[in-house]
A and B are shown apart, each in its own frame.
Chain A
Amino acid sequence: MERWVHDVAHIDPNDTARFGGKGAGLARMTALRLPVPPAFVIDTNACRLFGQTGGRFPDGLGEQVSAAISGLERASGRPFGGGSGQPLLVSVRSGAKVSMPGMMDTVLNLGLDRNNIGRFAAAVSAPVAADCWMRFWAMYADIVLDVDPDLLKVAVAAECADAANALNPESAMVFENAVLKFLGNEGVVVPANPRTQLDGSIAAVFRSWNSRRAKTYRAHHGIPDDLGTAVVVQAMVFGNSGPDSGSGVAFTRDPKTGEANLYGEYLPQGQGEEVVAGTRTPVDLAHPNPELVVLRTSLTSYGKSLEREYSDALDIEFTVETGKLYLLQVRPAKRTAAAAVRIATELLAEGAIDEETAVDRVTVEQVRRLVSPQFSAAAVSRARVLTTGIGASPGHGSGVAVLDADRAAALAAEGTDVVLVRPTTSPQDLRGMLAATAVVTARGGATSHAAVVSRALDKPCVVGAAQIDVRPAEMFFSIDGVGYAEGTELSVDGGTGQVYAGILPRSVPDSTGGGLEHLLSVADRRSGAGVWLPAAAAGASAGRGGAGIGPVGLTDLLGQHPGAVGRTVAAIEVLSHDPNAPAARIEDVLVPDVQVVVRTVLENSGGLPLDLRLPVLTSPRARRLIHEWASLAPHLLLPLGPKRLLSAWLDGIATAVRDTGHGATTVLLGGVTNAAEIDAFAELAIAAGLRSGAVLGNPAALFESRLKSRPNAALWVDLHELTRAAHGYPEELLFTISEFTATGALGDAAPGSVLHPLVRHLLGELISTRGGARVGVDLAGASPGGVVPDLYRMGFRTFTATSAGVEELRLLLGQAAGAPKEADHG
C-alpha cells in the first residue's frame, strides 16, 4: 500500500511539492536538532486522491493516521482520547508548497471530550481547561463546520462558565451537550469523538485546497491545480502547565529598528494566544532574571542557526512546558520600514543574501513611508497638544480645521490644506475626507468609518478625541471648554493620536542612518537606470541619486515668479493681433522673466543636467490662462507656429546658461507629431547655443521611424498625454479615471496602471528607432508599480517622477532589473 503519512523526522526537507512548506520546515528544524514538538505530515498525494474521488479518504489513510497518532502518543507520553494521565492534544494545519489564500487555518486543542477534560484540568487547572475546550469548539465550528464562532460562544457562555467554576463529569457533559445542540440547530453534523474530529479537520484541509478563493488565486498566479496540499498534525505543548512554564515570541533582530539583537517577550504561565492577544503584560526577554538569561541564550543560539537556514530575520513562537523549551513556529518576521532597510543592508554586508535579494526585501510602500515628511522633533517638543485621541491611521498632516465636508472640499479646491474635524464620519462626508490632509473625529474607535476610510486613503486620522465638542452648524469646536473657530490651524499625528495647535514644520527624517540611500544605490547599480528629479527637488537634490532635473515646465517656473505669467499671456495676445509688434512689447517683456527663473534653477541644479519644456499654446493650461484663447491666431497653435515666442524664450534661457556657466541645458518642444518639426526646432536651438529635444505625447510622433535622424536629441514620452490620446479621453477626465475604472466599466483596462496595448506597441517602436537619441519616460500620474517593470523590460532606462516618487522609482527599477527577463505577460 502507498504511504501517505510520515513522521517529520523522516522526510526530505527539500521535497516541498510532496510535504508542503510547513512540513518541510519542521523537517528542517528537526534535522538541525531544534526542539520541536513531535509531528507527522499527510502528503499531497493523499490530497490529490481525495479530490479525484470526490472527497473520500483513500483506503488505508485512516489506519496510517491512527498509527501516526500512536507515534505521537509514544513521543509525548500522553494518550489521545481515552487512557489515563494528561491527554494528548494536537494542532491541525494546512501546508502547501506555496502558501496561498483560501487555505484552511489552524485548528488547535483537538483531543478534548467530556471523558478526558478532567484529566486535562488536573494538569493545567479547571478554568484553563474549560477555556482551551471552548477555544477548540470555536475554531472547529468556524474552520471545519463554517459556523460563526461568536454565536456559539454566546449560546454556550453560561454552561462554559459553570464548567470553568466547577469542573466535574456533570458540568462537562452539560457543556458538551450545549455545544452539540447549538451546532445541530445550525444544521451541521458534529462528532463529539476526537478521532472523528481529527478526520473532519484533515478533510477540511483537503477541501480548502479547492475553495473558490484558492482556485482563483492559483489561476491568477499560474499555480497548477493538481499540486495539492499537505496536512501537518502536531502534538501541542502548554505554557500554562503551572510554574516553570510559559509562552513567548522572539525576534532574531529588533522588529522596530532592525538591530541585530534578539528581542522578545515572555509570558510566564501563559499560552501563546495570550501573548498575541496582549491580554496580559509579558516580561522583556532582556530582563536579567537568571531563568530568562538561560532562555535568552538558548533562543539566541537557535535563532542564529535558523537565520543561516532562512537568510532572513525571523520571528519564533515558543513555549516552555515544565522547564522544557519548544519552538512552535518560525517565519520571516514582520518589521517596520526602517527595520526592513537595516536588516536588508546588514544581511547583505554579512554576505547572507545577494544584492538582488536585498533590493527585494524592501517594499515600495516601506520606502514611501521612510521618505514621507514628518513633523520635526524640535517643533513637536515645543508644540502645544490640544487633545489626544486614538491614532487610527499613521502619518503627519496639517491644515486649517473645517467642520463640514462640503466646506472642506470647497476650501481644499482653492489650494488650502484642510483638516476635517467631525463628530463622526459617514459616507456623506466622503468629499471632505478625500480633500483633507488629515481627519479628526470626536467619537468612534479604531474600527470606525473614519478610521477604515482614512486608512484606505492613506491619510493621517485621529478618532475618539472625546474632549472635542464639534458644532458644525455653528462653525466652532471646543476642547475642555475652550472654544476655537473653524479655520484654526491644527497639526495631526495619526500614529500617536495627538492633535497640536498650529502648523508644525515637516522634513524628511533620516531614520535609517543612510541605510536607505545605500540600498537605493545598490538598486541603481543593478538597474543601470537614471531617475530625473523634478525642479522642486533642485537644491535639495544632493544625495537623492538623481541623473538630471526635468523635464521642467517653463510655465511652472514662470508661475513662481510674481506677475510673470500675466506678462507672458499679455505678450502672446499682442503677438496674436499684430505679428509685427515692436520688440518692446514682446521680446523685452518675455526675455527678462525667463532669464531670472531659469537662472535660479540652474544655480540650484548642483551640476545636474537640466531639461526645460517650452510652453505649448494648445495645452489645457494655456486655454485656462489665456483669456482670448479662442481668438488666438491659428498658426500660433502649431508647435513651431509662434516662432517669435520660441526665439525669445530660447534667448532668455541661453542668457541664463551663459550667466551660470551650466553646461548641460536642453530645451524641449511639445505637441510635435513628426520628425521634421523636431529637426526645425533643433536649428533654432543650435542658433541659440542650446541642445534640443521634444516631448512626445502623440501616437503619430511615436510612430515616426525617422526620430533617429537627430542623434543626441533628448526625447521624453509624456505617458499621461499618450495614454489620454490612445484612449481618446478628454483631458478633464484623466484625474477621475481611477474612480471610473473602479466601477468595472472598463473591464481590465486600467489607464495609468497598465500599459494599453497600443501604447506599448508605440513605445516599442520608439525604443527600436531611437538611434542615438536619449529617451525618457515621464510617468506623471501613472502608477509606477503598474507600468515601470513593463517599461524596464522594454528597454527604457530613463524616468522622471514627482518629488515623492524618486526613491520609490529607484527601488522599483532595481527590483525590475532582478525580475525574470521574459516577454511581458500581456
Chain B
Amino acid sequence: MNDEAFEALNAVYLRKIASADVVTECTGLESGAARELIAAEIENGSLEDLGGQYMLSEDGTRAVLEGYEERYASLRENSTVEDWYQRFETLNSQFLQTISAWQTSGQDEGVLDKLLKIVSRQVRALGTIAETVPRYTRYADRFEHALELVEAGKSEFITSPTADSIHNIWFEFHEDILTLLGRPRLDAESDH
C-alpha cells in the first residue's frame, strides 16, 4: 500500500467514520485526488460507503495496522521516537490539565493563553520529529490552522467535538503515535 492510501485509510481508522472532506484535510491531498483514492479503496474492499461517510471494513482495518507495522516496526527499536514520545507525555499532561482548566474556569483568557502556548510548543516539537515521521507535519499544519481560527475569536476550534478542533487533533495525534509505537491505548487511560 502506498503512502497516500495509508494516510487516507489511517484518517478513517483514527475516527472510525470520516467524510471525504476529513480525508482531504488529514492527507493534505487535493480534494479530487482524495475522492479518487476513496473510490479506489471502496473498490478494493477496504472502505464502506455509508452515504458520504466512510468506514473501514475488516480488511481495511487490517491494512492500516499492517501499514503501521511495515512502516514503523523498525522505528520502535531505536530510541529517537521513544525519547520524543517521553517529552510528548509531559506536554500531553500539561495540555489535558490546561484544556480542562479552561473549560471549568469559565473560559479564562489567561488559561487559554497557556493552552495556546502548549499547542505552539507541540507544533515546534512536531518539527523535530518530521525527519523521522514526515507525515506528522500534517498534524502541525492542522494545529496551526486551528490556532489561527482560535486567535481570530472562533473558540469552537478549541474543544468542539464536531470541528477540526485543537482537542480533536491532539487526541487523534496521541492515538496515532501510540499505534506507531505499537502500544495499546490502555496505558494512557488515566488521563486521556
Chain A nearest Cβ from B47, distance in angstroms? 16
List chain B residues, Cβ under 8 A from A216: 151-152
List chain A residues, Cβ under 8 A from B153: 220
Chain A nearest Cβ from B187, distance in angstroms? 12
List chain B residues, Cβ under 8 A from A101: 109-110, 112-113
B127 at the interface (CB under 8 A from A): no
Taken together as a complex, chains A and B put the C-alpha atoms of A743 and B22 apart, in Å, by 10
Taken together as a complex, chains A and B put the C-alpha atoms of A426 and B97 apart, in Å, by 18
Residue of B nearest to A208 (CB): B113
Q: Is the interface of A mostly helix, strand, loop or mixed?
A: helix
List chain B residues, Cβ under 8 A from A100: 109
Pair B190/A449 contact, Cβ less than 8 Å? no
Taken together as a complex, chains A and B put the C-alpha atoms of A626 and B102 apart, in Å, by 49
List chain B residues, Cβ under 8 A from A434: 161-162
B81 at the interface (CB under 8 A from A): no
Pair B159/A220 contact, Cβ less than 8 Å? no
Q: Known contacts A426-B175, A444-B190: does B99 contact A105 (CB below 8 Å)?
A: no
Pair B171/A148 contact, Cβ less than 8 Å? no
Q: Known contacts A101-B112, A444-B189, A444-B190: does B167 contact A456 (CB below 8 Å)?
A: yes
Stretch at the interface among B60-68, B70-78, B87-95: B87-95
Q: How many residues does chain A have at the interface if contact means C-beta atoms less than 8 Å apart?
A: 43
B51 at the interface (CB under 8 A from A): no
Pair A455/B159 contact, Cβ less than 8 Å? yes
Q: Is the interface of B mostly helix, strand, loop or mixed?
A: helix
Taken together as a complex, chains A and B put the C-alpha atoms of A220 and B155 apart, in Å, by 14
Residue of B nearest to A453 (CB): B161
Residue of B nearest to A366 (CB): B106
Q: Known contacts A148-B90, A428-B16: does B162 contact A742 (CB below 8 Å)?
A: yes
Write the A439-457 contact mask toward B (1 if CB under 8 angstroms, else 0): 0000111111101110111
Q: Known contacts A154-B90, A426-B171, A452-B100: does B189 contact A443 (CB below 8 Å)?
A: yes
Pair B121/A148 contact, Cβ less than 8 Å? yes
A407 at the interface (CB under 8 A from B): no
Chain A nearest Cβ from B178, distance in angstroms? 11
Pair B161/A427 contact, Cβ less than 8 Å? yes
Of the candidates B161, B164, B190, the one having the most CB atoms from chain A within 10 angstroms of its own CB is B161
Q: Known contacts A148-B91, A220-B152: does B190 contact A445 (CB below 8 Å)?
A: yes
List chain A residues, Cβ under 8 A from B21: 743
Select A102's contact among B15, B17, B113, B175, beta carbons within 8 Å: B113
Taken together as a complex, chains A and B put the C-alpha atoms of A148 and B157 apart, in Å, by 24
Taken together as a complex, chains A and B put the C-alpha atoms of A456 and B161 apart, in Å, by 7
Select A451's contact among B100, B109, B172, beta carbons within 8 Å: B100
Q: How many residues does chain B have at the interface if contact means C-beta atoms less than 8 Å apart?
A: 48
Chain A nearest Cβ from B172, distance in angstroms? 7
Taken together as a complex, chains A and B put the C-alpha atoms of A443 and B186 apart, in Å, by 10
List chain B residues, Cβ under 8 A from A739: 162-163
B43 at the interface (CB under 8 A from A): no
Write the B140-174 contact mask toward A (1 if CB under 8 angstroms, else 0): 00000000010111001101111110011001100
B30 at the interface (CB under 8 A from A): no
Q: Known contacts A453-B161, A455-B104: does B192 contact A150 (CB below 8 Å)?
A: no
Q: Known contacts A151-B90, A452-B100: does B191 contact A430 (CB below 8 Å)?
A: no
Residue of B nearest to A335 (CB): B106
Pair B103/A456 contact, Cβ less than 8 Å? yes
List chain B residues, Cβ under 8 A from A743: 21, 163-164
List chain A residues, Cβ under 8 A from B117: 142, 146
A334 at the interface (CB under 8 A from B): yes
Pair B161/A433 contact, Cβ less than 8 Å? yes
List chain A residues, Cβ under 8 A from B181: none
A481 at the interface (CB under 8 A from B): no
Chain B nearest Cβ from A740, distance in angstroms? 10
A744 at the interface (CB under 8 A from B): yes
Taken together as a complex, chains A and B put the C-alpha atoms of A452 and B158 apart, in Å, by 10
Taken together as a complex, chains A and B put the C-alpha atoms of A105 and B114 apart, in Å, by 9
Taken together as a complex, chains A and B put the C-alpha atoms of A431 and B191 apart, in Å, by 22
List chain A residues, Cβ under 8 A from B17: 428, 431
B129 at the interface (CB under 8 A from A): no
List chain B residues, Cβ under 8 A from A148: 87, 90-91, 94, 121
Chain B nearest Cβ from A29, distance in angstroms? 21
Pair B192/A213 contact, Cβ less than 8 Å? no
A212 at the interface (CB under 8 A from B): yes
Chain A nearest Cβ from B185, distance in angstroms? 8
Taken together as a complex, chains A and B put the C-alpha atoms of A414 and B98 apart, in Å, by 38
Pair A424/B172 contact, Cβ less than 8 Å? no
B14 at the interface (CB under 8 A from A): yes
Select A449's contact among B113, B116, B160, B192, beta carbons within 8 Å: B192
Q: Which of A109-151 contact B (CB under 8 A)?
A: 142, 146, 148, 150-151
Taken together as a complex, chains A and B put the C-alpha atoms of A457 and B168 apart, in Å, by 14
Pair B100/A213 contact, Cβ less than 8 Å? no
Chain A nearest Cβ from B75, distance in angstroms? 22
Q: Known contacts A427-B168, A447-B97, A743-B21: does B87 contact A151 (CB below 8 Å)?
A: yes
Closest 7 CB pairs of A and B: A447-B96, A428-B16, A742-B163, A456-B159, A455-B103, A101-B109, A216-B151
Can you spell out 7 A-B residue pairs with CB atoms less than 8 angstroms apart?
A100-B109, A148-B91, A150-B93, A151-B87, A453-B159, A739-B162, A742-B163
Given A150-B94, A447-B99, A742-B157: 8 more A-B contacts, CB < 8 Å: A105-B114, A148-B90, A150-B93, A213-B113, A217-B151, A428-B16, A444-B190, A447-B191
